[in-house]
Structure 1
């Protein structure tokens, strides 16, 4: 005859162990966030490196950006998105996001606004 075993006692979450997210995973989150911030620009995919100490992530993102364009605005958008995503997905504080612009890519030639470019 099989008698049911008693259920093991519940262990508090703090006593069960810890979850550690390695630097490489946080770097993938950061690179994806940078890609989201630059959506539609057709640039090479961003690359990120991260150093994690406790719950603080130091992030460096390497980008290719379109030029001429407002580089400062593009970098600010990437910084905001990376910090937000890393904090949201990995529950880490991101005090700064360093950006290295590796290459400036010329934007496709566009006709000037209001001008007729057709030959007559």
Structure 2
């Protein structure tokens, strides 16, 4: 049996085995998780309507769990519920795969709806 000490170097200059509890931990900052969520929401939304701001996110991380709130602007008319569900799925999958965190909640807040310009129609009322 060989004794294991933390920080020791084994034969040949290789690091000695360190117990998992003594290796430390990786902490991912909230703002990094928010950037991952924002990028995932951009991918899910696709092409933005003219004048729309890109999606942005805020997160609350507690241990290995992230609760995410995403703010988006969408084109109208359109399937708003379907687009929000797509954003939720994409954000949860990306945060889970890239940050290794559980994502029990993704809130999608629609900040503004942008009217899609009708082809050849003037602004105002049409028949």
Question: TM-score, normalization: structure 1?
Answer: 0.81
Distance 1:45 1:61 in 2: 11
CA offsets, 1:37-58, max 9 Å, x none? 0112344210100000111100
* Runs (4+) off by over 6 Å: none
Aligned to 1:11: 18
Choose from 48, 58, 73 the match for 1:64.
73
| Matched residues, number | 108
Question: TM-score, normalization: structure 2?
Answer: 0.77
Aligned to 1:26: 33
Q: Which runs of 5+ in 2 are unaligned?
A: 1-11, 121-127
* CA 1:8–1:99: 2 relative to 1, 3 Å: closer
Please provide the CA RMSD for this pair. 1.9
Q: Which runs of 5+ in 1 are unaligned?
A: 112-120
* Matches for 1:23-62 after TM superposition, within 5 Å: 23-42=30-49, 43-62=52-71
